[in-house]
Structure 1
Amino acid sequence: MDASIREEILAILDRANDMTLATIRQDGYPQATTVSYAHDGLDIYFGCAADSQKARNIGRNRKVSLTINLPYVHWGEIRGISAGGLADRLTDTQEIARAGQLLLRKFPQGIAEYVSGAIEGVAFFKVVSNVISVLDYRKGFGHRDLVGTEPGAQSQAR
C-alpha cells in the first residue's frame, strides 16, 4: 500500500468517531448500524451488546463492510473510507483489554464502566479490512483510491 494513502486512511480513522457497520442478517439481507470505534493502525475495534443483532450476525458470518466519513460543508471537501473485511469477537483477555484501552483513550468520558467489565453483556470486536476505498473529493468529484491491505497489494485511482 502506498505510504501516502495509508497516511490518509489513518488520518480519517483518527479524526472520525463513528462508523456505519454492515453485517449480514440470518435472512441474507444486510443490516447497517452506527457504532463508535477506535483503531490500532488499520485494525478497527468496537464494542456492542453481546446479544445485539450485529453481534449475532457476526457470529454467523464474519464478513462486514463499513464506512467512515469526516464532516464536510461542501461536496468538494468529502473525505472518508469504505472497507470490506472480517470481524472477530475478541475472546483473549489481553486483546479485550487492548481494545478497551484504545476505546477509553479515544472516548475518556462515559465509557469507563463498559471497557472495565463493570457492565455485563458487552462484546468487543476487531475488524481487519481486506480492501479499502479512500474517498477524497478534494482531488476531484468522486475521486477514490482502491487499495488492498495485503502486503504487495496494488492501488487503483478512480
Structure 2
Amino acid sequence: MDQALKAKILTLLEQHRIMTVATVRPDGWPQATTVGYASEGLTLYFLCGLNSQKAKNLALDNRLSFTVDHGTENVMQISGLSMAAYAEPVTDHREGERIIQLLAKKYDAKVNVGMVMPPPDAVRLFRVTPIVISVLDYSKGFAHTDLVEC
C-alpha cells in the first residue's frame, strides 16, 4: 500500500468517531446503522447491544461495509472512506476491556462528563478488518476515489 495513501486513511480514521455500517439481514436486505468506533492502525472496533440486529446479522454473515465521513458545505471538499471488511466478535475479556478503554478515549471524557462505558460482557464487541478501502477525495476531482486492497 502506498504510504501517503495509508497516512491519509489513518488520518481520516483518527479525525472521526462515527461510521455507518451495513450488514446483511437474514432476508438479504442490507441494514445500515451508525455506530461509534475506535481504531488501531487499519483495525477498527465497535460495540452494539448483545441482541441487536447488527449482532444477529453479523453472527450469520460477518461481511460488513462501512463509511467514515463528515459533512461539508463545499462539495469539492468531500473526503471520506468506504470499506469492505470482515467483523469478528471479540470474546476475550481482557481484550474487551482494552477495547472499551479505546472507545472511551475516542470520546474525550472532558466533553462527555459522566459518560460510563459498559463492561465488555454487557455488549457485543467487534473487531473489523478491512479487505478493500476506497479513499474518496473530491479535492482531486469530482468523485475521485483511490482503491486500496489490503
TM-score range (shorter-chain normalised) is: over 0.9
RMSD of equivalent CA atoms:
1.3
Q: How many angstroms apart in 2 are the aligned matches of 1:29 and 1:143?
A: 28
Residue of structure 2 in register with 1:16 after alignment:
16
Unaligned runs of 5+ in 2: none
Q: Which amino acid aligns with 1:10?
A: L
Aligned partners of 2:99, 2:57: CA distance in 1, in Å?
A: 20
Work out the percentage of aligned pairs sharing the same amino acid: 42
- Structure 2 counterpart of 1:155: none
CA distance in 2, matches of 1:2, 1:124: 30
Q: How far, CA to CA, are the matches of 1:84 and 1:100 in structure 2?
A: 23
Is the aligned partner of 1:145 residue 2:146? yes
Once the 2 structures are TM-superposed, how far is the Cα of residue 122 of structure 1 from its aligned partner? 1.1
- Write out aligned runs for 1:84-123 (5 A): 84-107=84-107, 108=109, 109=112, 110-114=114-118, 116-117=119-120, 121-123=122-124
How much has 1:97 moved relative to structure 2?
1.7
Q: Residue 112 of structure 1: SS of its match in structure 2?
A: coil
Where do 1:47-86 residues align within 5 Å?
A: 47-86=47-86
Note the C-alpha offset of 1:70.
2.6
What TM-score do the two structures reach when normalised by structure 2?
Answer: 0.92
Deviation at 1:79, TM superposition (A): 0.4
Per-residue deviation, 1:111: 4.2
In structure 2, C-alpha distance between the alignment counterparts of 1:16 and 1:81, rounded to whole Å = 11
Distance in 2 between residues matched to 1:111 and 1:54, nearest whole Å: 23
Report the number of matched residues: 146
**Counterpart in 2 of 1:6?**
6
**1:127 paired residue number:** 128
Q: Secondary structure at the match of 2:26?
A: coil
